[in-house]
Amino acid sequence: MCICICFHVLLRKTNCGTVEYTPVGLRSVKLTERELMVVWQMEDFAMKQIVKKQQKYPSIPSSKLWHFELRIKTLDNVFKEKGDAESKESDKVIIPCNQRYYVCNALKPNTEYELSLQTVFLWPYLNDHTQYHRTESPLTVPVGFRTFSNSEEALNVPQLQNAHLRQVTSQSAELEWEETAGQGTAYEIYEHNQGEGKMLDTVIDNIRWQTKGLRPSTEYIFTIKAVNGKTTVESNPVQFWTPSEGLFLKICFFFFLLLKTTANNNNNNDIKKLI
Protein backbone atom coordinates (compact mmCIF):
# COMPACT_ATOMS: atom_id res chain seq x y z
CA MET A 1 0.00 0.00 0.00
CA CYS A 2 2.79 2.40 0.94
CA ILE A 3 4.66 1.64 -2.29
CA CYS A 4 1.55 2.39 -4.39
CA ILE A 5 0.94 5.72 -2.67
CA CYS A 6 4.56 6.81 -3.05
CA PHE A 7 4.51 5.82 -6.72
CA HIS A 8 1.36 7.88 -7.34
CA VAL A 9 2.85 10.97 -5.67
CA LEU A 10 6.07 10.58 -7.68
CA LEU A 11 4.00 10.24 -10.84
CA ARG A 12 2.21 13.51 -10.18
CA LYS A 13 5.40 15.43 -9.56
CA THR A 14 7.21 13.97 -12.55
CA ASN A 15 4.51 14.25 -15.20
CA CYS A 16 2.51 17.33 -14.38
CA GLY A 17 3.10 18.48 -10.83
CA THR A 18 4.99 21.56 -12.02
CA VAL A 19 3.35 24.94 -12.39
CA GLU A 20 3.75 25.16 -16.18
CA TYR A 21 0.97 22.58 -16.64
CA THR A 22 -1.45 24.60 -14.52
CA PRO A 23 -3.80 26.83 -16.59
CA VAL A 24 -2.84 30.51 -16.39
CA GLY A 25 -4.78 33.78 -16.54
CA LEU A 26 -8.03 32.40 -15.07
CA ARG A 27 -10.57 35.24 -14.89
CA SER A 28 -14.33 35.74 -14.94
CA VAL A 29 -16.61 37.85 -17.16
CA LYS A 30 -20.17 38.49 -15.96
CA LEU A 31 -22.74 37.87 -18.71
CA THR A 32 -26.22 37.89 -17.17
CA GLU A 33 -27.93 37.53 -13.79
CA ARG A 34 -27.17 33.83 -13.61
CA GLU A 35 -24.45 33.40 -16.23
CA LEU A 36 -20.74 33.98 -16.03
CA MET A 37 -17.91 33.12 -18.41
CA VAL A 38 -14.48 32.02 -17.22
CA VAL A 39 -11.50 32.08 -19.57
CA TRP A 40 -7.90 30.89 -19.26
CA GLN A 41 -4.77 30.03 -21.25
CA MET A 42 -2.04 27.41 -21.38
CA GLU A 43 1.63 28.29 -21.53
CA ASP A 44 3.28 27.61 -24.91
CA PHE A 45 5.94 25.47 -23.25
CA ALA A 46 3.29 23.32 -21.59
CA MET A 47 1.43 22.79 -24.87
CA LYS A 48 4.63 21.75 -26.66
CA GLN A 49 5.31 19.17 -23.96
CA ILE A 50 1.73 17.86 -24.13
CA VAL A 51 1.84 17.56 -27.93
CA LYS A 52 5.16 15.72 -27.67
CA LYS A 53 3.67 13.28 -25.16
CA GLN A 54 0.54 12.76 -27.31
CA GLN A 55 2.70 11.59 -30.21
CA LYS A 56 3.32 8.37 -28.28
CA TYR A 57 -0.38 7.55 -28.74
CA PRO A 58 -1.19 8.36 -32.41
CA SER A 59 -4.33 6.21 -32.45
CA ILE A 60 -5.91 7.89 -29.40
CA PRO A 61 -7.64 11.29 -29.82
CA SER A 62 -6.34 14.08 -27.62
CA SER A 63 -9.79 14.49 -26.06
CA LYS A 64 -9.33 11.10 -24.38
CA LEU A 65 -5.81 11.89 -23.15
CA TRP A 66 -6.39 15.12 -21.25
CA HIS A 67 -8.98 17.70 -20.25
CA PHE A 68 -9.66 20.52 -17.80
CA GLU A 69 -11.65 20.25 -14.57
CA LEU A 70 -13.37 23.34 -13.20
CA ARG A 71 -14.29 23.40 -9.52
CA ILE A 72 -17.33 25.59 -8.76
CA LYS A 73 -17.75 26.23 -5.06
CA THR A 74 -20.62 28.04 -3.34
CA LEU A 75 -19.54 30.06 -0.31
CA ASP A 76 -21.55 30.70 2.84
CA ASN A 77 -22.51 34.31 3.53
CA VAL A 78 -21.60 33.77 7.20
CA PHE A 79 -17.84 33.85 7.76
CA LYS A 80 -15.98 32.03 10.47
CA GLU A 81 -13.80 33.81 13.02
CA LYS A 82 -10.67 33.17 10.94
CA GLY A 83 -12.29 34.85 7.94
CA ASP A 84 -12.60 31.68 5.88
CA ALA A 85 -15.90 31.10 4.12
CA GLU A 86 -17.64 27.81 4.76
CA SER A 87 -18.03 25.71 1.63
CA LYS A 88 -21.65 24.69 1.14
CA GLU A 89 -21.58 23.16 -2.34
CA SER A 90 -18.87 22.14 -4.77
CA ASP A 91 -19.37 20.97 -8.36
CA LYS A 92 -16.82 19.67 -10.85
CA VAL A 93 -17.17 20.32 -14.57
CA ILE A 94 -15.11 18.49 -17.21
CA ILE A 95 -14.08 20.74 -20.13
CA PRO A 96 -12.51 19.49 -23.40
CA CYS A 97 -8.78 20.05 -23.87
CA ASN A 98 -9.30 22.23 -26.97
CA GLN A 99 -11.51 24.72 -25.13
CA ARG A 100 -10.26 27.76 -23.19
CA TYR A 101 -13.52 29.09 -21.81
CA TYR A 102 -16.63 27.87 -20.04
CA VAL A 103 -20.02 29.52 -19.41
CA CYS A 104 -21.40 28.85 -15.95
CA ASN A 105 -25.19 29.07 -16.09
CA ALA A 106 -28.15 28.45 -13.75
CA LEU A 107 -26.26 30.19 -10.96
CA LYS A 108 -28.10 31.24 -7.80
CA PRO A 109 -28.88 34.95 -7.34
CA ASN A 110 -27.08 36.95 -4.66
CA THR A 111 -24.59 34.13 -4.10
CA GLU A 112 -20.84 34.19 -3.73
CA TYR A 113 -18.91 31.66 -5.80
CA GLU A 114 -15.31 30.57 -6.04
CA LEU A 115 -13.79 28.95 -9.14
CA SER A 116 -10.54 27.07 -9.61
CA LEU A 117 -9.20 25.06 -12.54
CA GLN A 118 -6.69 22.30 -13.16
CA THR A 119 -5.35 20.23 -16.05
CA VAL A 120 -5.98 16.47 -15.86
CA PHE A 121 -4.09 13.84 -17.88
CA LEU A 122 -5.17 10.26 -18.52
CA TRP A 123 -2.01 8.74 -19.99
CA PRO A 124 -2.39 5.10 -21.09
CA TYR A 125 0.26 2.56 -20.23
CA LEU A 126 2.45 1.88 -23.26
CA ASN A 127 1.98 -1.89 -23.04
CA ASP A 128 -1.79 -1.69 -22.41
CA HIS A 129 -3.80 1.25 -23.78
CA THR A 130 -6.95 0.08 -22.02
CA GLN A 131 -5.36 1.02 -18.68
CA TYR A 132 -4.23 4.53 -17.76
CA HIS A 133 -2.91 6.56 -14.88
CA ARG A 134 -4.48 9.86 -13.93
CA THR A 135 -2.21 12.82 -13.17
CA GLU A 136 -3.27 16.34 -12.21
CA SER A 137 -1.75 19.78 -12.22
CA PRO A 138 -2.12 21.96 -9.13
CA LEU A 139 -5.32 24.00 -8.95
CA THR A 140 -5.18 27.62 -10.04
CA VAL A 141 -5.53 30.44 -7.54
CA PRO A 142 -9.33 30.69 -6.89
CA VAL A 143 -11.36 33.38 -8.63
CA GLY A 144 -14.30 34.75 -6.63
CA PHE A 145 -17.44 36.59 -7.75
CA ARG A 146 -21.01 37.35 -6.64
CA THR A 147 -24.16 37.06 -8.75
CA PHE A 148 -26.81 39.80 -8.96
CA SER A 149 -29.15 40.21 -6.02
CA ASN A 150 -32.35 39.86 -8.06
CA SER A 151 -33.76 39.99 -11.56
CA GLU A 152 -34.48 43.73 -11.36
CA GLU A 153 -30.81 44.46 -10.72
CA ALA A 154 -29.93 42.27 -13.70
CA LEU A 155 -32.45 44.01 -15.96
CA ASN A 156 -30.80 47.33 -15.17
CA VAL A 157 -27.69 45.98 -16.91
CA PRO A 158 -28.80 44.72 -20.36
CA GLN A 159 -26.72 42.38 -22.48
CA LEU A 160 -25.64 42.95 -26.07
CA GLN A 161 -27.36 40.34 -28.25
CA ASN A 162 -26.51 38.02 -31.14
CA ALA A 163 -22.77 38.57 -31.34
CA HIS A 164 -21.38 36.16 -33.93
CA LEU A 165 -18.58 35.53 -36.41
CA ARG A 166 -19.27 36.60 -40.02
CA GLN A 167 -16.06 35.37 -41.61
CA VAL A 168 -12.54 34.31 -40.68
CA THR A 169 -9.23 33.74 -42.46
CA SER A 170 -5.85 32.68 -41.11
CA GLN A 171 -5.02 36.31 -40.19
CA SER A 172 -8.32 38.22 -39.95
CA ALA A 173 -11.88 37.96 -38.68
CA GLU A 174 -15.11 39.96 -38.87
CA LEU A 175 -17.66 40.11 -36.05
CA GLU A 176 -21.28 41.28 -36.15
CA TRP A 177 -23.97 41.94 -33.52
CA GLU A 178 -27.44 43.46 -33.05
CA GLU A 179 -27.89 47.19 -32.65
CA THR A 180 -28.81 47.90 -29.02
CA ALA A 181 -29.48 51.65 -28.90
CA GLY A 182 -29.80 54.74 -31.06
CA GLN A 183 -27.26 57.01 -32.66
CA GLY A 184 -24.03 57.63 -30.81
CA THR A 185 -23.67 54.13 -29.39
CA ALA A 186 -20.09 53.00 -28.90
CA TYR A 187 -19.25 49.31 -29.00
CA GLU A 188 -16.21 48.09 -27.08
CA ILE A 189 -14.51 44.90 -28.32
CA TYR A 190 -12.65 42.67 -25.86
CA GLU A 191 -10.48 39.59 -26.50
CA HIS A 192 -10.18 37.13 -23.62
CA ASN A 193 -7.72 34.47 -24.74
CA GLN A 194 -4.74 36.03 -26.52
CA GLY A 195 -5.68 39.57 -25.39
CA GLU A 196 -6.17 38.59 -21.73
CA GLY A 197 -9.49 40.43 -21.43
CA LYS A 198 -8.19 43.80 -22.63
CA MET A 199 -10.29 46.15 -24.76
CA LEU A 200 -8.89 46.06 -28.31
CA ASP A 201 -11.01 48.66 -30.09
CA THR A 202 -14.11 50.86 -29.99
CA VAL A 203 -16.46 51.43 -32.92
CA ILE A 204 -19.31 53.97 -33.03
CA ASP A 205 -22.66 53.50 -34.81
CA ASN A 206 -21.49 50.32 -36.48
CA ILE A 207 -22.54 46.72 -35.81
CA ARG A 208 -19.59 45.15 -37.61
CA TRP A 209 -15.89 45.07 -36.74
CA GLN A 210 -12.93 43.56 -38.53
CA THR A 211 -9.57 42.72 -37.03
CA LYS A 212 -6.34 41.88 -38.80
CA GLY A 213 -2.97 40.58 -37.68
CA LEU A 214 -4.34 37.37 -36.14
CA ARG A 215 -2.15 34.29 -35.89
CA PRO A 216 -2.96 31.14 -37.91
CA SER A 217 -4.17 28.05 -36.03
CA THR A 218 -4.96 30.09 -32.92
CA GLU A 219 -8.05 30.22 -30.69
CA TYR A 220 -9.69 33.60 -30.03
CA ILE A 221 -12.56 34.52 -27.69
CA PHE A 222 -14.27 37.90 -28.21
CA THR A 223 -17.05 39.73 -26.36
CA ILE A 224 -18.69 43.07 -27.18
CA LYS A 225 -20.09 45.70 -24.83
CA ALA A 226 -22.33 48.65 -25.81
CA VAL A 227 -21.98 52.11 -24.22
CA ASN A 228 -24.68 54.76 -24.65
CA GLY A 229 -25.52 56.38 -21.30
CA LYS A 230 -25.85 52.89 -19.81
CA THR A 231 -23.14 50.26 -20.28
CA THR A 232 -24.22 46.73 -21.12
CA VAL A 233 -22.52 43.62 -19.79
CA GLU A 234 -20.42 41.61 -22.24
CA SER A 235 -22.14 39.65 -24.96
CA ASN A 236 -22.05 35.89 -25.04
CA PRO A 237 -18.57 34.80 -26.19
CA VAL A 238 -17.69 34.53 -29.87
CA GLN A 239 -15.14 31.72 -29.96
CA PHE A 240 -13.30 30.46 -33.05
CA TRP A 241 -10.00 29.08 -34.35
CA THR A 242 -8.21 30.72 -37.24
CA PRO A 243 -7.37 28.22 -40.02
CA SER A 244 -3.76 27.35 -40.74
CA GLU A 245 -2.08 29.27 -43.55
CA GLY A 246 -1.55 26.04 -45.45
CA LEU A 247 -5.26 25.18 -45.29
CA PHE A 248 -6.26 28.70 -46.34
CA LEU A 249 -3.92 28.60 -49.36
CA LYS A 250 -5.22 25.15 -50.32
CA ILE A 251 -8.81 26.43 -50.26
CA CYS A 252 -7.87 29.44 -52.41
CA PHE A 253 -6.00 27.17 -54.84
CA PHE A 254 -8.98 24.80 -55.01
CA PHE A 255 -11.36 27.63 -55.95
CA PHE A 256 -8.81 28.93 -58.48
CA LEU A 257 -8.67 25.52 -60.18
CA LEU A 258 -12.45 25.23 -60.05
CA LEU A 259 -12.91 28.62 -61.74
CA LYS A 260 -10.22 27.82 -64.29
CA THR A 261 -11.80 24.43 -65.12
CA THR A 262 -15.24 26.03 -65.43
CA ALA A 263 -13.85 28.70 -67.77
CA ASN A 264 -12.08 26.09 -69.93
CA ASN A 265 -15.26 24.00 -70.19
CA ASN A 266 -17.23 27.05 -71.27
CA ASN A 267 -14.62 27.87 -73.92
CA ASN A 268 -14.70 24.29 -75.23
CA ASN A 269 -18.50 24.39 -75.48
CA ASP A 270 -18.32 27.65 -77.41
CA ILE A 271 -15.80 26.14 -79.85
CA LYS A 272 -18.03 23.08 -80.42
CA LYS A 273 -20.96 25.35 -81.20
CA LEU A 274 -18.92 27.21 -83.80
CA ILE A 275 -17.82 23.92 -85.41
pLDDT category of residue 250 using cuts at 50, 70 and 90: low
User: Pick the residue with more confidence: 255 or 101?
Assistant: 101
> What pLDDT shows up at residue 174?
96
Q: What is the pLDDT of residue 3?
A: 40
Residue 4's pLDDT is what?
42
**Which comes out higher in pLDDT, residue 24 or 195?**
24
What is the secondary structure of the chain as a DSSP string?
-HHHHHHHHHHHHHHT-SGGGS-EEEEEEEEETTEEEEEEE--HHHHHHHHHHHTT-TTS-HHHHEEEEEEEEEEEEEE-TTSPEEEEEEEEEEEETT--EEEE-SPPTT-EEEEEEEEEEEEEETTEEEEEEEEEPPPPPPEEEE--SSHHHHHTS-B----EEEEE-SSEEEEE----SSTT-EEEEEESSSSTTEEEEEEES-SEEEEE-PPTT-EEEEEEEEEESEEPBPPSPEEEEPPPHHHHHHHHHHHHHHHHHHHHHHHHHHHHHH-
Average pLDDT, the chain: 79
**Alpha carbons 228 and 184: distance in angstroms, whole number:** 7
pLDDT for position 36: 86
Q: Which CATH superfamily is domain 158-246 in?
A: Immunoglobulins (2.60.40.10)
Q: What integer pLDDT is reported at residue 179 of this predicted model? A: 85
- Give the pLDDT confidence score for residue 151 in this predicted structure: 54
Q: 208 pLDDT exceeds 90?
A: yes
Give 63-99 pLDDT, tens digit per residue: 999 999 999 998 854 333 334 444 445 689 999 999 9
Q: For the residues 113-121, what does the mean pLDDT come to?
A: 95
Domain ranges of the chain: 8-149, 158-246
pLDDT score of 197 more than 90: no
Residues 8-149, CATH architecture = Sandwich (2.60)
Which tens digit of pLDDT belongs to each residue from 168-177?
999 999 999 9
Of 112, 108, 109, 116, give the one whose Cα is nearest residue 146: 112
What is d(CA 8, CA 16) in angstroms, rounded to the nearest whole number?
Answer: 12
**15: pLDDT confidence band, cut at 50, 70 and 90?**
very low
Residue range 12-35: average pLDDT? 70
pLDDT band at residue 256 under the 50/70/90 scheme: low
Q: What residues contact residue 71 under an 8 Å CB cut-off, 6+ apart?
A: 90, 91, 92, 115, 116, 117, 118, 139
Do the domains at 8-149 and 158-246 have one common CATH topology? yes
